[in-house]
């Protein structure tokens, strides 16, 4: 398979569901709650590919289903339907959603990294910064303490965390530093796929710039494929080659990022672009 | 040999959904052949549709109809109007340079780094990339004191020269120039002309938009004039 990631027909539905859920929700109805049975269709009919070394953006307002989608990719949530193929797992021939939880854990620990908007979700704030990285490495079968410490130092240096803070707990770090520790942790096992969910939301502009800078540098130097979820077009423009636009749980448009911004096709994307300040 | 780029019946219409689907015409029925190593200049009033053509070729705009058969080193003969996005990204990176009047740079990346980056992306080794980047920045007479600073604060002319450096440093096979001399002084213009001549000698094909007719006539092989989205005249 040429794609590092292929996603087909993914949906996530909360509720008992009925025959009309899909038909009566989505952007043309402006809702993701089925009017018949009250089921929430967080996302549906999602399909896309990510190429090796590519950065794909997913943009949309809050409630568009973009975070739910990313959670299903990291197996934080099980999708209701769908297929997910990873080039680095059995040459992309197995739908990884269908694997046992043990195999999913293997993929998560060895082939993926995730950075959450909220550092609480990605870090143990009571463990040391180095300990957080060690945790990820142990799960990826690193077992030499000296190697682990070396790798942790290397990652913290890369993300500009002073080495002397390595044994401090992230709960005493600033938001930007916590986010950089989270990125170190996510990168620890050299994953071919990195997922980033609103990683700069809520940070000061200067801190935001340094985190974005770091992500760009990682993408260039390590050739990692990334999926960047953001509601912020300036983040998307800075980081991504291609972009998916979501609304009410569906993809309304996908294209080259500069095309999405300069020649948006869908009414909703035009509204978003025209609303930029 | 087939032309480097063969454009047939290219039309671009914009549909504005927020204004009840109102249609805006960008360009209509454009036909154009660009031979290998040739430079075509396009003139016309602002709003005539000149940039629309360049943006369609670069696929920043999705053409409404028509075809653009491009001779790619890596992909063979390919219709840019319908090519897969991944192919477009690869062709852009390896073969096409685009110089716009506006510089869109990333925060916290120095002028020098933003040129180095272009070369590193196509696989040039870092030290060689830095040397080439320095050479082209001095060619375009961008003051050395600016190399290690952020381009956000640059003047219009400085930004344009940085743009030119970024696009030309990789010696692309095909170059799109959207007013490459706007807001430049005579000395800088001469440096742009020299680089254009050098690239042409190396076999680069180019399409450029100009308001500066005197400059254009000194570099192009053919020129076309546009009015209201239509090509009205061509001279060899």
Give Cα separations from A223 to A4, A51, A54, A122, A218 (angstroms): 12, 11, 8, 22, 8
Please report which residue ranges of chain B form alpha helices under DSSP H.
Answer: 50-58, 85-94, 111-121, 126-139, 156-168, 186-201, 213-219
Parallel, antiparallel, or unpaired: how do β-strands A250-256 and B76-79 relate?
unpaired
Report residue B182's pLDDT band, with 50, 70 and 90 as the boundaries.
confident
Interface touch B18/A220, C-beta < 8 Å? no
Q: What is the pLDDT of residues B24-39, one digit of tens each?
A: 999 999 999 999 999 9
Q: Which residue of A265, A267, A271 is in closest CB contact with B62? A: A265
Provide the pLDDT for residue A272.
92
Which positions in chain B touch A274 (Cβ < 8 Å)?
A: 18
ipTM for this prediction = 0.92
Using CA atoms, how far apart are residues A213 and A218, in angstroms rounded to an integer? 9
- Region B152-161: what's the mean pLDDT? 89
Residue owning tokens 């090509």: B231
Alpha carbon separation from A51 to A149, A164, A199, B20, B50 (Å, rounded):
32, 38, 22, 37, 33
Residue B235 pLDDT class (50, 70, 90 cuts): low
Residues of A in contact with B17 (CB under 8 A): 266-267, 270-271
Contact B14 A241 (CB under 8 A): no
Does A232 touch chain B if contact means CB atoms closer than 8 Å? Answer: no
Q: Which of B55, B107, B120 sits opposite A209 (nearest CB)?
A: B107
**pLDDT tens-digit map of A131-144:** 999 999 999 999 99
Confidence bin at B224 (pLDDT 50/70/90) = very high
Task: Give residue-wise pLDDT tens across range B61-79.
Answer: 999 999 999 999 999 999 9
B177 φ/ψ angles, rounded to the nearest 5 degrees: -120, 115
DSSP letter assigned to residue B19: G
Q: Which domains does chain A have, with CATH numbers?
A: 5-274 (3.40.50.300)
- Residue B171, domain CATH: 3.40.50.300
| CA A264 – CA A258 distance, rounded (Å) | 9
pLDDT at residue B103, rounded to an integer: 75
Does B232 have pLDDT greater than 90? no
Q: Which stretches of chain A score pLDDT less than 70?
A: 1
Residues in chain B with CB shorter than 8 Å from the CB of A200 are none
**How far, in Å, CA of B44 to CA of A232, rounded?**
36
How confident is the model at residue A1, as a pLDDT?
67
Judged by a CB distance cut-off of 8 A, whether residue A78 touches chain B is no
Numbered residues of chain B with Cβ closer than 8 Å to any chain A Cβ: 14-18, 55, 59-62, 85-86, 88-89, 104, 106-109, 117, 120-121
Determine, for residues B106 and A270 on separate chains, whether the beta-carbon distance falls below 8 Å: no
Residues 6+ away with beta carbon under 8 Å from A95: A83, A84, A85
A113 burial via Cβ count (<10 Å: 0-12, 13-18, 19+):
buried
Query: Which residue of B51, B85, B100 to mutate against A (max A Cβ within 10 Å)?
Result: B85
Nearest to A56 by CA among A235, A248, A241, A234: A241
How many structural domains compose chain B?
Answer: 1
Interface contact A51-B117, CB threshold 8 A: no
Measured in angstroms, the CA of A134 and the nearest CA of chain B are apart by: 31
Residue ranges making up the domain that contains B142: 5-235
């Amino acid at each position: 398979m040429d794609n590092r990631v292929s996603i087909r027909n993914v949906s996530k539905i909360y509720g008992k569901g009925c025959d009309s859920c899909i038909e009566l929700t989505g952007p043309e109805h402006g809702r993701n709650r089925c009017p018949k049975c009250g089921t929430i269709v967080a996302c549906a009919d999602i399909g896309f590919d990510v190429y090796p070394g590519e950065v794909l953006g997913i943009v949309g307002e809050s409630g568009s289903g973009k975070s739910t989608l990313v959670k299903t990719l990291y197996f934080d949530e099980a999708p209701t339907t769908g297929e997910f193929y990873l080039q680095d797992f059995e040459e992309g021939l197995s739908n990884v959603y269908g694997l046992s939880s043990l195999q999913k854990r293997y993929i998560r620990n060895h082939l993926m990294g995730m950075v959450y908007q909220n550092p609480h979700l990605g870090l143990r704030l009571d463990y040391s910064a180095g300990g957080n990285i060690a945790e990820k490495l142990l799960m990826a079968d690193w077992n030499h303490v000296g190697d682990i410490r070396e790798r942790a130092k290397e990652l913290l240096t890369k993300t500009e965390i002073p080495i002397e803070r390595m044994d401090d707990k992230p709960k005493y770090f600033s938001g930007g530093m916590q986010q950089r520790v989270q990125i170190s942790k996510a990168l620890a096992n050299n994953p071919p796929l990195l997922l980033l969910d609103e990683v700069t939301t809520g940070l000061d502009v200067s801190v935001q710039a340094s985190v974005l800078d770091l992500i760009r540098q990682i993408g260039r130097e390590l050739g990692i494929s990334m999926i960047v979820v953001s509601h912020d077009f300036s983040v998307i423009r800075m980081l991504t080659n291609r972009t998916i636009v979501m609304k009410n749980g569906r993809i309304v448009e996908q294209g080259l990022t500069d095309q999405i911004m300069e020649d948006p096709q869908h009414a909703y994307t035009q509204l978003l672009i025209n609303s930029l300040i | 040999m087939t032309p480097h780029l063969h454009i047939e019946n290219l039309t671009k219409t914009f549909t504005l959904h927020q204004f009840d689907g109102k249609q805006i015409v960008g360009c209509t029925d454009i036909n154009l052949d660009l031979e290998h190593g040739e430079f075509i200049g396009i003139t016309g009033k602002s709003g005539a549709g000149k940039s629309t053509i360049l943006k369609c070729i670069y696929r920043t705009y999705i053409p409404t109809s028509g075809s653009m058969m491009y001779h790619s080193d890596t992909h063979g003969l390919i219709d840019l109007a319908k090519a897969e996005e991944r192919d477009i990204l690869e062709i852009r990176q390896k073969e096409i340079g685009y110089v716009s009047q506006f510089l869109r740079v990333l925060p916290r990346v120095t002028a020098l780094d933003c040129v180095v980056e272009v070369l590193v992306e196509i696989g040039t080794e870092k030290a060689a990339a830095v040397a080439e980047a320095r050479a082209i920045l001095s060619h375009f007479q961008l003051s050395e004191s600016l190399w290690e600073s952020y381009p956000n604060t640059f003047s219009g002319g400085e930004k344009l020269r940085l743009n030119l450096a970024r696009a030309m440093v990789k010696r692309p096979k095909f170059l799109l120039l959207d007013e490459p001399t706007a807001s430049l002084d005579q000395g800088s213009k001469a440096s742009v002309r020299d680089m254009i001549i050098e690239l042409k000698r190396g076999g680069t094909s180019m399409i450029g938009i100009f308001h500066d007719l005197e400059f254009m006539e000194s570099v192009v092989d053919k020129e076309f004039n546009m009015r209201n989205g239509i090509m009205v005249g061509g001279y060899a």
